[in-house]
Structure 1
Amino acid sequence: MGLFRRYFQIVVVLATIVLTIFLWEKFKNFSPFAIKDIQTTHNMVLKEMTVLGKLELSNFAFRDVVEQELVRDYLPNPKAILIVQGEAIGCLDLTKIKADDITTKDDTLIVHLPDPELCSYRIDHSKSKIYDTEYAFMNEQSLMNEAYTRAEAKIKQSALDMGILEQTKKNAELVLKPLLENISGKKVVLQYRMKATLERLK
């Protein structure tokens, strides 16, 4: 009886050792505080675009010959001919981009851009000049101011009519897309909000 009891104790001890080793090997890396996976979200692209602000992507230069006349009832009409040079600039306001405008799919970064805009248009007074005037000795300043105002409005409308906004989109593909691919290390697809909205509705 005593021999049997001793054998039983030895078997129990050996079983306990084997079980302890098994459990140790199986759960030695287990910890309630162990890190199962690492997920990192980067806002580098968004920050870079925010820093860029309004990104100028197209520049249309204009040269216009403006004939301005002030019509009077009795005296001769003051007239002026001006040669006006100016420019219009198309841009994307990247500060309007929010975090949910940037999504990733596999190795592709999809960026929903704000619509392009005509961010500025102006006359370059240093390159503009008065070509000729008639009867303008008392009204020259009024003639010039009105002529430049109308010329500036014409630059704005001409730029829009000539497709500066569409050209801005095309230049975004050439300039902005490689920049974002370099920052993110991913293939970049540029979409515009209105178009992206219509695609989601489909």
Structure 2
Amino acid sequence: MAVGHWITALWEDWRTRYFLGQGLTKESGGGLALFPLNLCCSSAQVMYVTYTVHHVMTLLAYLYSLCSYQLGGVMVQGLLFELPVLWMLRREMGYISRPKAQWLTEVRRTHAHHGATYLTFLLGRGPAECLWIVSMLPTSFGNELLEESLSLQSTVVYHTLAAFFTSLNLRILGLLFCWHEQDVSQARRWDLAEME
């Protein structure tokens, strides 16, 4: 099911590639939100490349798990990684809708939306990060967690995936901060326009 989902996600992103990264510019976050790809690509292109790399890595991870009969628990956590995506999609849909989504025109509701995004990010992605940290601890529990559960090859795959998705999480968190700042600034402008 997960393999089918990621194949579909690749197709969906290809079909909607021009709409990705709504509200982002090359200068977002002082130019750091999309760096270094923003030096040669538009924000939609950067987001498309980022999503494609993510989807391909995820697809390969699930295929490896199916073929090796290992990392099943990690793959379940991978599905939980998708929790904040629901809020990210809500934001993108709200941003392109005409008229603009009502919650994007009110500062309080904009903060509430982004607060929910951060919460689901923490709940969906935090446990996997904690597991990776615990599995690297030089304690008997940390060592046993990997040695008793995984082959050497699967251990290498596990650490590679963990490092990749940790770096991606940091990148996405920076993106979420940029979106939050942009959306609140825009909502404040709407509030000021209504007062006048």
The TM-score, its normalising length taken from structure 2, stands at: 0.23
The structure in which a higher percent of residues are helix is 2
Which structure: larger Rg?
1
The structure in which a higher percent of residues are strand is 1
